[in-house]
Structure formats: C-alpha cells, structure tokens
Chain A
Amino acid sequence: MDYTEKVIELFRNPKNVGELEKPSVSVQEGSPACGDIIQLQLKIDENGRIEDVKFKSFGCASNIATASIATEMIKGKHIDEAEKISWAEVTKELGGLPKVKVHCSVLAVDAIKQAIERYKIEKGITKVNAESITKDFILRKLRHVIDPSVGTDIVRLKEVLYVGIEKEGDSVDVLIQMRKQENDELEAHMKEEIREKLEFIPKIRKIEIEFVDHPQLI
C-alpha cells in the first residue's frame, strides 16, 4: 500500500488517542464487520469551542492517520466551524490517500460531524420539535447503524421495513419494524445500536423496535 510519509508518520505516532474523563459528547461510527470503527469524544467549552478531542480506532493505517489529522484540525475551533470539515480537506492535509482507502478515511470526518450534531441537539442549540422528527429524519439516523453480518447499513440493506411516528402532545413515539434476523444475538445487537442513535434526541418519548417476517400495515 503506497501511503505518503505523513500518513505513515501519523500512523506510527497517532495524535489524540485515548478517552476523555468527562466528554461533552461521545460517538462511535463504523462496524467491526467492515473493518473500521472510530470512537470519538469531544470536550466543548461554554462558548462552543472544542477544548479537547480524543479518539480510539479499530482500523487500518489510513483510518488511524485520518483520525489523527482530523482531530488535530478541529482542536481549538468553534463547533460551527469544525462541523464544516470535509474529507477532501483532510486528505489534502495528509498529502493524498490511495484510492481504495477512501472508505476507511471518511469515517473520522463522519464521526466529527455526528458528534457535533448530537451535541447541538442535546444542548438545544439545534431545535428539535415533534414536527421535525419525520420518517426521513429517523432514516437518516438509521443510516449509521451497520448490519455486522454484512458490513453495510441497515437502510441500504432495506432491513428497515417500517418507520411509524405517533405524535403525543409535543413529543413522539417511534415504532421501527425490522426484517427478522438470523439469531437473537444479532437482533439484540441491532436494537442496542438503533437505540444508541436515537435515544439522545429530545421529544422522542418512546422507541419500539420489532423484528418481523413481514411489515404490519398500521
């Protein structure tokens, strides 16, 4: 694999590895099935500035190098600016990446964007009301849940059969019907992952996840 000097150097001596004691927000992106996972934590001060950032990675050299450089790039920046970070910028900073490694390197950028979005929703900076929780909104979140037996997200795999949203005053209940999986273990894993991606969103009162042979018509 033909990596640039910079990639190799950052892989040998990665920056910002580890965990924060009291992170403002913590996310995990990817899945062991596709061979890449990033856990990213941000410490954000009251003015919205990123004070500190740490990551952990199960992944290849380019994954670790991208996470190193991307975390360096957002450190000290305001979240409004940090969330604009693009994969192209990061790759340029690294002096380029082999083509087949694009997949592994987008993960770090994804994780940063997800973490900031999550932080903004949790802190009420991004206002979420019952009206903004639509089927599309839920599906966008579910795109980050990966079926570990295939390594692809559950929306693309068409495993999400039905998303129902029921309004109750100013909050909503979400019902998700999923295609039945091979075993209970897999279903439990997916349930946990789905909850992880939705639970933090205010105004969602209840999340119900069912695994069914055929979608029920409600």
Chain B
Amino acid sequence: MKRIVYMDNAATTRVDDRVVKAMLPYFTEEYGNPSSLHKLGIEAQRAVEKARETIARSIGASPEEIIFTSGATESDNIAIKGYCRKHKSDKKNKIITTKIEHAAVFRSCVHLSREGFNIVYLNVDKEGFIDMEQLKKELDDSVLLVSIIHGNNEIGTIQDIEAIGKLCKEHNVVFHTDATQSYCKVPINVDEENIDMLTMNAHKMHGPKGIGALYIRDGIKIDPLYGGGPHEFRLRPGTHNVPGIVGFAKAVEIESKEMEKTAEYVKKLRDYLVERLLKEIDGCYLNGSSDLSIEKRLPNNANLRFDYIEGESLVFRLSDYGIMTSTGSACSSANLTPSHVLNAIGLPHEKAHGSLRLTLSKYTTKKDVDYAVEKIKKVVEELRELSPLTKKENKEKERRDNGFGLHGKGNRTVSEPQECGGA
C-alpha cells in the first residue's frame, strides 16, 4: 500500500487501539441504555459515571461538573448560548471573545448578537496572542461572559489562560475557554486557572468522533438548548453515546498519563520539521507563536506559509504523495475568503493563501518528517515554476539589486535581464 503520512491531527486523529478495544463490548454485549432500570442499563450507567470521573479528574473538577455532549461544537454552543440566555439583563449583555475563535464559538456569538447581545472581538498580535490591556479595558460592569480559545486550531498559539482567568475572577465574570486542541496535550486545571466552563472533545486526542464534554463550574446555571429527557443533569437531553463515552474516557486515561512524554516527543519532531523547512526553503515563514515552548504553542502544531504559491494546490499535490495536510487558503473554504485567523494576525490575503498547516501526533515518526520535508520542497518548487508571481517578484528584486549596484559601485554595467522562470 502507498505510504500515508498523516499530518492533519488538528482535524482529527487515528483512534488508539486500546481505545477501540475498550469501546467494542459496549456495542454488542453491554449495549444497555443507562436510563433503563434493568441490569444491562445499570451496567451502562456505571460505565458512564466511571468515565465522568476520569474526565473530571483530568482537569481537577468534580464529576457533577461534567456533562457529555456530541463534541466540541455542541459544548461551545451550550456554554455560550446556554449561559448568556439564562443570565441576560438590560445591565448585563456584553460578551467578550477574540478574532481567532473556532467557528463554533464565533457563530454562537453571531447568533447571540442577533438576539441583542453586544459582542466584542479582541484583537490579537501578529503571533496570535490577545491584548491583555484591551481585555482589561473591555471588562466593565455589563460583561456577562468571556470566551477565549485555549490553543488555537490553526496557528497553535496558546493564550495565557491563567492570567485571563484571574482577570475574569477579579471582575466577577464567568470565563469559558475552548480547549478542543489543547486538552490532554498541555496540563489544564480549572481551579488553578480560574476556568468556569471548559470545552473538551475526544477525536483530537486519539478518541472516537461524535463525543465531547463540557465542564461547568458548580453553581453556574445554564439554559439547556434542547428539550428532551432528564439526561446529564437536565442540561443535555438525549440517550447517552455509551461506547463513545467509554472510548473518550479511555483516551483521556491514556493521554493524560502519557501527556508529558508525548508532548516532549511531538514537540521535538515539530521543532525539527519547522527548522528544516525554514532553513531549506526560501520564502518560507512560520505563522503563529515564534516561541515554540509548550506554554506558548501547541506542541504538535506547525503552520507555515510559502511565497508565490496557493495552499489548495499544495495540499492536493502533497496528498498525491500520501501526505495529509491542510491550508487556510480561501480556495479550501466555501466562501472563498481566507482564514479569519490568518487575517487577524495581519497576513494580507495573498500571504494567507500560501499557508500550510502540519499537525503531528504520537504516531508521527522522524522518518515521516524527513519524507514530508523532501516532498514539500519538491512540490513548492514545482508550484513556483507554475506560478506567474515567481518571475515577476524576481524581476523586481533584480531591478532593485541592479539599481543599488549602479549607485553603489559607480559605473557598473547592467547585464541583460536574466531568464529566471523559477527553475
């Protein structure tokens, strides 16, 4: 079979074999509904409650503070809409968020703005960090909720959650953070970091798709989004996804135990990947935090951009070599606008179009990285040969260089313009 090098772990991950094994009995043997009274139901309920404990423990919370959802998108919606609708008043109707949120948070805020909420989108600097001064300034008496992404899904930048949590606590404002990408990759403790609501999910960390969780600090009231049964403390109705919940907990168990080791391993590979690409390809730049430490950037995230080429072409050509990646190019999206995150860090459209996201995992090897680097070099070169921009820019550069030479060296003769098609 053709070689597959999977470098799109921010999109989803390979499920750990141990997770699959833990899930299987819950399809064919322990298939009861946790709400049923009989023995099979009770067994299923026990499995769900055990899983709830595992997840609560992983973030320093109590089991009653965890509700299971269908994934991070639902968790974000419940946290933001559920909380804001419950507590809206004439005096309190402001939500503070950022310009680099995932669509689940961003669109939830847009929905609320139509219901009369006042939404403030914080700016970020060119590496994707929010402006703490702006946050301080915006934290007035009308603020109901602050929702700021933990580790960014595109550029990997990790916000100073502890400082934000502290600030929110001082102002008595509820703080939600979407930790979809960072959960079980970097340590999170809801009490130490003053997090009031936390979005988590399983499939970005070698668990199954279709299952997530939301931490809601004890005492915080929210309105459920759907009508239904009394499941999940009456906050999220619907029959439990028992195999998913069991798989999620198994993944959390594995990943939190191996977190430090995995982070160190993956970071080393990521640093090596970034270093090689920056060194070996001209006109290649890193997007997001330049501080590659685990406190500032997700250890598995690399986001680069290349002059003169377009991201979708890059992704497709790499896919031909079995390398799975993603891009913030407009052509990859339905509305043809480039990534709002890359825009927010100040990249003009044409630069955002040339971006490539490579996200690694514990299954990535050094051989994979070496293979990917070789192929990226090749494909970038091929696409630059195809690009009309390469030549134009080269000519301009040449003109500038020649100009400098004329002034600098007196009567230097300017040679005929060189043919520089990029080859």
Contacts and interface: CB of A to CB of B under 8 A. Distances in A.
Contacts of B309: 58
Interface in A64-104: 64, 100-101, 103-104
B208 interface: no
Contacts of A149: 348-349
A48 B202 CA distance: 63
B387 A56 contact: yes
Interface stretch (B4-12, B91-99, B275-283, B331-339): B331-339
A18 B336 CA distance: 27
Nearest to B350: A32
Interface in A1-31: 1, 8, 11-12, 14, 17-19, 28, 31
Contact of B386 (A8, A14, A100): A14
A58 B330 contact: no
Size category, B interface:
20 to 34
A11 B385 CA distance: 14
Contacts of B332: 1
B336 A58 contact: no
Contacts of A61: 312-313, 316
B320 interface: yes
A11 B316 contact: yes
Given A60-B329, A61-B316, A100-B334, A34 B386 contact: no
Given A14-B386, A33-B349, A33-B350, A58 B308 contact: yes
Which 4 pairs, one residue from A and one from B, show the smallest C-beta to C-beta distance?
A32-B350, A39-B388, A60-B331, A60-B312
B348 A56 contact: no
Contact of A37 (B312, B330, B338, B388): B388
A38 interface: yes
A196 to B, nearest CB: 12
Nearest to A102: B336
A149 B351 CA distance: 11
Contact of B388 (A8, A14, A38, A104): A38
Nearest to A30: B388
A148 B350 contact: yes
Contacts of B333: 100
A104 B332 CA distance: 12
A53 to B, nearest CB: 15
Counting chain A CB atoms within 10 Å of each CB, the highest count among B329, B333, B348, B386 belongs to B386
B346 interface: no
Contacts of A35: 310, 329-331, 336, 338, 349-350, 353
B44 to A, nearest CB: 39
Nearest to A57: B386
A24 to B, nearest CB: 18
Size category, A interface:
20 to 34
Contact of B336 (A28, A34, A37): A34
Nearest to B334: A100
A18 B335 CA distance: 30
Contact of A58 (B310, B334, B349): B310
Given A60-B310, A148-B349, 18 more contacts: A12-B317, A14-B386, A32-B349, A34-B349, A35-B310, A35-B330, A35-B336, A36-B310, A36-B331, A39-B388, A56-B391, A57-B387, A58-B308, A58-B309, A59-B310, A64-B386, A100-B334, A101-B331
Nearest to B333: A100
A8 B353 CA distance: 20
A168 to B, nearest CB: 33
B421 interface: yes
B331 A59 contact: yes
29 contacts: A11-B313, A12-B320, A17-B386, A31-B350, A32-B349, A32-B353, A33-B349, A33-B350, A35-B329, A35-B336, A35-B349, A35-B350, A36-B310, A36-B331, A37-B387, A56-B388, A58-B310, A59-B313, A59-B331, A60-B313, A60-B331, A61-B312, A61-B313, A64-B386, A100-B334, A100-B335, A104-B331, A148-B349, A151-B349
Contacts of A148: 348-350
B399 to A, nearest CB: 13
B331 A58 contact: no
Given A33-B349, A148-B349, A100 B336 contact: yes
Contact of B389 (A18, A37, A60): A37
B327 to A, nearest CB: 10
